[in-house]
Chain A
Amino acid sequence: MPESEAPPIDGVSVEINGHEVIARKGELLIDAAERAGTYIPRFCYHERMKPVGMCRMCLVEVDTGRGPALQPSCMIECTPGMKVDTESEITKKAQDGVLEFLLVNHPLDCPVCDKGGECPLQDQTMAFGPGESRFVEEKRHKEKPIPISDLVLLDRERCILCDRCTRFAKEVAGDPLIHFINRGNDTEINTFPDEPFSSYFSGNTVQICPVGALTASSYRFKARPWDLDTTESTCQMCSVGCRISIDSSRDEVQRFAGVDIDPVNWGWLCDKGRFSSEAVNADGRLSEPLLREGDSLIPARWSDAIRRVSDALAKASSPQAIGIIGGARLTNEDNYAWAKLAKGVLGTDNVDAQLGDGLPAEVVLGLPAATIDEVCAPGGTVLLLAPDVKEELPVLFLRLRHAAVSDRVTLIEISPRTTGITSLAKASVQPRPGEVGELVRALVARSNTDRDIAGIAAEEINAIRALLSAANGPLKVVLGRASVAESADAVVDAAAAVIEARPDTRFLPVLRRANVRGALDMGMAPGVLPGRVALEDAREWYESRWAKVPASRGLDTEGILRAAADGRIDVLVLLGADPLSDFPDQDLAARALTGARTVVSIDTILNASSRRADVVLAAAGFAEKAGTTTNVEGRVNTVSQRVTPPGTARADWMLATEIASRLGVEFGFSSPQDILDEIGSITPAYLGLSIEALAASPDGIVLPLDLPVDELVDEIIEEIIKDVAAEIETETGEPVDEFIDVLAMTDDDGFVAGSTPRLVSFVADAPLPVPPLDSYAFRLIATRKLYDQGTIVQSATSLAPLAPGTSLLVNPWDLDRLGVAESGRVTVRSSRSSLTLSVTSDPGVPRGAAALVVSQADVRVGELIDVGDPVTEIRIETA
């Protein structure tokens, strides 16, 4: 496990192959040996799961004072004075025997096996096994492969019954849908008939299977490991920021795999992230710019397309007549270049990376922050005021699950409807939409309440209040927008209530989209400038560094769309944004696209909104450009280029730089690195960030830094230099002094003078009053599912069919009251519009509310929602 490498204070001294090794207290022998450089072969042991001792491959000779004996090193903890021999004759004989035994039934189909070339069984047989087989009998035969889910296939002949996949399913994912079936020689992994392994995390089993028994349908027979080129990067399918490796062959992305970084993903990925690899080469990727001619978009030359955009921008009647929406798809460098273009060149503050479905930038940037590790710290108490993390930020769900199941973390959930984490929570309540602020106020109040609030009984409120006041240490809050059918005000109000009552509370704001956090950090929101600073606080700072700074606070996405709908926007730029599909209020989005004079879309694939644009610029996508990204925690890590973008598609930062240049301002950026240098030297929260610092911290860097990064880098360099110097000294016997001079040289690439503006802090506006309860109306809850109609999911062929669709979900009590039969058709009417769809009873939806899933086929939930209302009230009638 990649933790600190320093020997601990209360270590345990053991002897491995004649050398003393200091193991951590309670450390497994297999881990201690590996840390000391002795790799003990293994199949079943995985450092992120509990050991089971299934395969016996890790047998080594251990002497604990009673004479040497073979022991499975994955099952024994180091004890003082233990003597271990991993290379003795007896150990070797045991390894040899275990391998021969495993190979008894293992087919010799390496040449047609996906795992061939990266297979632990193959490798360990080569390294530790017998050269020849003595087995002449018939091997076990089974139908192969069989699909165990839409994404994973199982070849039972190849399985060595290591229990990794099944342990993962039960222990890590909590979806024990695969299991050992039968006994003895007949044992196999399988699902229950007709109940597939449809876990959101199923792809991890393919990655950890030590043989080719589990393969991914998206990668079968695609490439061989020795043909693959690999680069590490950071997943951009949501904002958790899991570390991944991108494998390509012949300039085509073949697959993504999880890379273990301790503070974030522990090597796991969700299936959406993992199989989004298919979307990189999707059909329909834009490879050239398009210009509108009448009803169609016609391929054009870059110079013409860019001129169209820069002319439109130059001719805009005022900076306020320009609006830019989007940024989550972009890298930090892209976002910085666009923020600089928008705010520093065009002078407009009408910029918003969110689509009215998140939280205000000041809330995200201003609340005292907690990292994932801090949220999951053993024994703590976490208040979930968030969307369904399993659906929106799956690997964060895995971390929270581990915290609750193994680290005694108390989860308390306040959500509009039950979620994938409800069963793990100590308490979970579903307040009426729009009233969560008032509820939370009572939960953190000094004394018990005697009345019901938001539909939650007083006793229940007091019980949770007791749990919260019993919390050990500061409370941690996971904060996000659980339903887009109600305004963000209520949850912001809830956050304000918590921080007022318990000022030491720390927050993990969970926005969903890829690099949305990085976009906000880079100033892609109204009222802020790059580096987590408020426009007003940082005006002076940026006036001396940029050509200009917007005169006043601009509009958010809702405001921009309203202005556009009223004909007050001349140029609307969509940076990878599709308001027509993703903005909660679809009527407003449609009117805005009609009302804006020129609509420019910069994207990788045409979407509903870009089909209506006047200019479409083809952008380089994930794996096609390098840069940095910032995850939910505010942790910066790198994204890397592995393949060439299609056709002439270009990175977003290039487009911003070129447009600026046409408008007469030279940014001087010729690579993402140039931009990162500027970010690291002028944007307050990112001061000191550099490519060297990132290279030195594979876990990413949480900003702002306590210690300026330069010092950090210097420290690291100093360490390296000292090591080298010491080595040279021992070799040559002469002291080495010059190195100290080198050190001195690295000292002065210093900091920007002047006082840096203070970072944004949280202020809550008073929420809009919620309308009184109407007993005929239902309040709408609009949530998300992992798989939806989003362009990337829909362009990954394996994922596209997994979008589940939606029906109207109503509490069985209400269904009864309405007199509607399960699966009956109903008409849902809001002040905006009406929809006819079928209804499903769902006890997870509170009484008086009805739930829909957004972005699913056929049901356009956004047509019902008016973003001006604090809650969306609907009426349900039989159709």
Chain B
Amino acid sequence: MARLTAENVELATEIIGHFPRPKSALIPLLHLAQEQDGHLTDDAMVHIADLVDVTPAEVLGTASFYEMFKMEPVGRYMVNICTNISCQLRGGEELLEHAENTLGIRPGQTTADGLFTIEDVECIAACTEAPCLQVNYRYFHKITNNEFDELISELRSGARSDIPAHGTLAQVRQHIPADRQAGSVVPENTEVPVWLSVSEDGNA
């Protein structure tokens, strides 16, 4: 668990190929690394730097800007409980307290079995469904304490195969066939941007 695996390097190469400049693939590759290890290891960042031809400092600079990239190991399930205004009015803070008591950890901490990390988060744009939470960025709406306990026990027992381990954004990976790619041409090097020329051809 460190650098990208051979299989992921292959994926990485494919992803890099979607962009005119390798550097543009940085964030997708960070997701790939996080999917592999659950968080971003230093080695993975160095590896990515190599792959997209920037320095590790630049990779860290970009990665650390985003909350969703974790620099430290987190639980298999990242439980984000919203305590922003709408959820707060509808019991978000109580839900968080309940979660803390149930799991025996404070926000930012991970359970000893490595399964759960809780975070209290700002509005996650589901105010009409308050109070709400996310597990690995999958939404759960209008959650009661009981429903929370049920969710946790389902996750514990492995009954929720719909929720992948932390870091997986999508369970189906999209592969863009070569004939549908915009082409990896640096904009400065083309007179007509590729996407325009492609659509022109399409219209003709």
**Residues of A with Cβ closer than 8 Å to B?**
175-183, 190-195
Q: Is the CB of A176 within 8 A of B55?
A: yes
Interface size class of B (residues with CB under 8 A): 10 to 19
Tell me which of B57, B61, B66 contacts A195 (CB under 8 A): B57
Which B residue's beta carbon lies closest to that of A175? B55
What are 5 contact pairs spanning A and B, CB under 8 A?
A176-B58, A180-B61, A180-B65, A192-B42, A194-B42
Question: CB distance B64 to A192 under 8 Å?
Answer: no
Task: Please indicate the chain B residues that have their CB under 8 angstroms from the CB of A175 in the complex.
Answer: 55
Q: Would B61 and A193 count as touching, CB distance under 8 A?
A: no
Within B42-58, the residues touching A (CB, 8 Å) are 42, 45-46, 54-58
Contacts of A195 in B (CB 8 A): 55-57
- Scoring A178, A179, A180, A195 by chain B CB atoms within 10 A of each residue's CB, the highest score goes to A179
Residues of A within 8 A of B54 (CB): 176
Q: A179-B58, A181-B64, A182-B65 are in contact. List 6 more A-B contacts (CB 8 A).
A: A177-B57, A181-B61, A183-B66, A192-B46, A193-B42, A194-B42
Cβ-closest chain B residue relative to A191: B57
Roughly how many angstroms separate A178 CA and B60 CA in the complex, as a whole number? 10
Q: Which residues of A contact B42 (CB under 8 A)?
A: 192-194
A354 to B: closest C-beta gap in Å? 38
Residues of B within 8 A of A182 (CB): 64-65
- With a CB–CB cut-off of 8 A, which chain B residues contact A181? 60-61, 64
Q: Is B65 a contact of A192 with CB atoms below 8 Å?
A: no
A192 CA to B42 CA, complexed, in Å: 9
Q: Nearest residue in B to A181 (C-beta to C-beta)?
A: B64
Most chain B Cβ neighbours within 10 Å, of A175, A176, A177, A192:
A192
Give A89 Cβ to nearest chain B Cβ, in Å.
37
User: Is the Cβ of A179 less than 8 Å from the Cβ of B65?
Assistant: no
Mark interface residues in B45-89 (1 if CB within 8 Å of A CB, else 0): 110000000111111110011100000000000000000000000
Q: Report the Cα distance A220→B33, complex, angstroms.
A: 41
Chain A residue nearest to B66 (CB atoms) is A183
Known: A192-B45, A193-B42. A176 touches B65 (CB 8 A): no
Q: Find chain A residues with CB under 8 A from B66 CB.
A: 183
CB neighbours of A176 from chain B (8 A): 54-55, 57-58
Q: In the complex the two chains form, what is the Cα distance from A179 to B54 in whole Å?
A: 12
Closest 6 pairs (CB-CB, A-B) = A179-B61, A192-B56, A179-B57, A192-B57, A182-B64, A183-B65
Find the A residue at minimum CB distance from B55: A176
CA gap between A554 and B56 in the complex, in Å: 56
Cα–Cα, bound, A176→B56 (Å): 9
Q: What is the distance, in angstroms, from A154's C-beta to the closest C-beta of chain B? A: 13
Mask: chain B, 134-174; 1 = CB below 8 Å from A; 0 = not: 00000000000000000000000000000000000000000
The distance from the CB of A189 to the nearest CB of chain B, in whole angstroms, is 10
Question: In whole angstroms, how far apart are the Cα atoms of A177 and B46 in the complex?
Answer: 12
Residues of A within 8 A of B60 (CB): 179, 181, 190, 192
CB distance from A568 to the nearest CB of B (A): 56
Smallest Cβ distance from A54 to chain B, in angstroms? 15
Closest chain A residue, CB of each to CB of B45: A192
Chain B 80-119: CB-based contact to A (< 8 A → 1; otherwise 0): 0000000000000000000000000000000000000000
Enumerate chain A residues within 8 angstroms of B59, measured Cβ to Cβ: 192
Q: A156: shortest Cβ distance to chain B, in Å?
A: 14
> Are B57 and A178 in touch, CB under 8 angstroms?
yes
Q: How far is the CA of A192 from the CA of B54 in the complex (A)?
A: 12
Closest B residue to A184 using CB positions? B65
- Cα-based distance from A191 to B56 in the complex (angstroms): 8
* A190 vs B45: C-alpha distance when bound (angstroms): 15
Which residues from B are CB-within-8-Å of A190? 57, 60
Q: How far is the CA of A665 from the CA of B172 in the complex (A)?
A: 93
Residues of B within 8 A of A183 (CB): 64-66
Q: Which residue of chain B is the closest to A423 with respect to CB atoms?
A: B53
Contacts of A180 in B (CB 8 A): 61, 65
For the complex, what is the distance from the CA of A193 to the CA of B43, rounded to whole Å? 11
Q: Complex Cα distance A192/B58, Å?
A: 8
Q: Is the CB of A177 within 8 A of B55?
A: yes
Which residue from chain B places its CB closest to the CB of A192 in the assembled complex? B56
Cα A195 to Cα B60 in complex, Å, equals: 12
| Chain A residues with CB below 8 A from B65, complex form | 180, 182-183
List residues of chain A with CB within 8 A of the CB of B55.
Answer: 175-177, 179, 192, 195
User: Roughly how many angstroms separate A417 CA and B151 CA in the complex, as a whole number?
Assistant: 63
**In the complex, what distance in Å separates the CA atom of A820 from the CA atom of B65?**
45
Cα(A822)–Cα(B121), bound, Å: 51
Taking the closest CB of chain A, its distance from the CB of B68, in whole angstroms, is: 12
- In the assembled complex, the CB of B186 is this many whole angstroms from the nearest CB of chain A, namely 15
B58 to chain A: which residues have CB within 8 Å?
176, 179
- Give bound CA distance, A179 to B65, whole Å: 11
Cα-based distance from A182 to B57 in the complex (angstroms): 12
Residue of B nearest to A186 (CB): B64
Q: How far is the CA of A180 from the CA of B64 in the complex (A)?
A: 9
Docked complex Cα distance between A194 and B65 (Å): 20
Give Cα distance in the complex from A178 to B45, angstroms. 15
A181 to B42, CA, bound (A): 14
What's the Cα separation between A399 and B80 when bound, in Å?
51
Nearest CB of A to B188, in Å: 12
- A191 to B45: give the CA distance in the assembly, Å: 13
Cβ distance A179 to chain B, nearest Cβ, rounded Å: 3
Contacts of B46 in A (CB 8 A): 192
A421 to B2 CA separation, bound complex (whole angstroms)? 32
Which B9-63 residues have C-beta < 8 A from chain A?
Answer: 42, 45-46, 54-61
Residues of A within 8 A of B56 (CB): 192, 195
Bound Cα distance from A175 to B46, whole angstroms: 15
Q: How near does chain B come to A172, taking the closest CB pair, in angstroms?
A: 15
Question: Which residue of the partner chain A has the closest CB to B54?
Answer: A176
Using CB atoms, name the residue of chain A closest to B59.
A192
Q: Closest Cβ of chain A: how far from B61's Cβ, in Å? A: 3
CA distance A183 to B61 in the complex (A): 9
Chain A residue at minimal CB-CB distance from B67? A183
Question: Shortest Cβ distance from A183 into chain B, in angstroms?
Answer: 5
B62 to chain A, nearest CB (A): 8
